[in-house]
Structure formats: structure tokens, C-alpha cells
Amino acid sequence: RLIAQECVELLQEESGPHRVIVRDLVRNPVPVLHDGLVQAIRSRPEDLSAEQLPLVALSDELIAELKAADLIVLGAPMYNWNVPASLKAYLDQVVRVGKTFDYGPSGPYGLLEAKHFHPERRAEHDQPYACNQTDHTGGNRARRRWPG
């Protein structure tokens, strides 16, 4: 958390003040996927049933936060050479067909245009996973910044 906070402060110094929304996935965990949620998340928004709408409400809220942001700082520890389950659960909720990516003749393309993701890591092992997820949604991976 301290590294992510330092990164936010550095970005504020470099590019002026930004409204900061902190989504602490430890204090406010995002539910992991289950069968009903997977079916709902994999459905196009216009194909959701009345029963599926409540299942995707949190996902829609998280995606609205991403769409409103001009830059995103991801700060997370590394567990067993990968991202923590809490970040995986979050990414599972926000990588959604018809919302943050879609398919075209050349394959998937992102719908979160001009988003600048800052994956703040001191270790390199789990960055590819988080970066691949953000690249898939159309985000632009910003250069890595290590505070201090």
C-alpha cells in the first residue's frame, strides 16, 4: 500500500492533482467467481436476464470506476510468483465482453481507450499477468515507476 501511495503522490507531482479513488481489495474484497456469475459476466450486456442483473451489479460499479479514471495505479504484493487472489477476483469482475473488451475480425480489442495503467511492482514475476489483463481491456501500460 505504501508503494502505491508513493506512486500516486509522484503522479500528482508530475501531472497535477487528480481525484483519487482507493479500492482496497483486502478491506473490501471482491467475490470470487462462481458458475452463475461466470455465465453472467460472459454474457453481452444486452443478453443478461433479470436474474443475472444483480449478479453483475458490483462488476458494473467497478467498470464504471475504471471508465471514469484517467489513470489507474495497481498496487499489490506478490504471492507464489503471481498476483494475490483478491486482485485476480477484481480482474475477473472487470474484464468483461461488451464492457471492457470485445471481439472483432482481428481478435479481441479493448474498450477502455486511453487509460494509463501503472502496475507498481518491485518484482517482475507477476507483472505480465496484470499487464496482459489491462492490455486486453485497451489500457495503455505506462512506464514503470519505482518510488524512492
Euclidean distance between CA atoms 75 and 5, whole angstroms: 9
Euclidean distance between CA atoms 46 and 97, whole angstroms: 11
For the entire predicted model, the pTM comes to 0.74
The per-residue pLDDT for 74 is: 78
Residue range 61-76, pLDDT digits in tens: 999 998 888 777 777 7
Compute the C-alpha angle 65/38/28, nearest 5°: 45
C-alpha cell at 71: 489513470
The per-residue pLDDT for 120 is: 54
C-alpha cell at 34: 462462481
The per-residue pLDDT for 8 is: 76
Residue 87 has pLDDT above 60, yes or no: yes
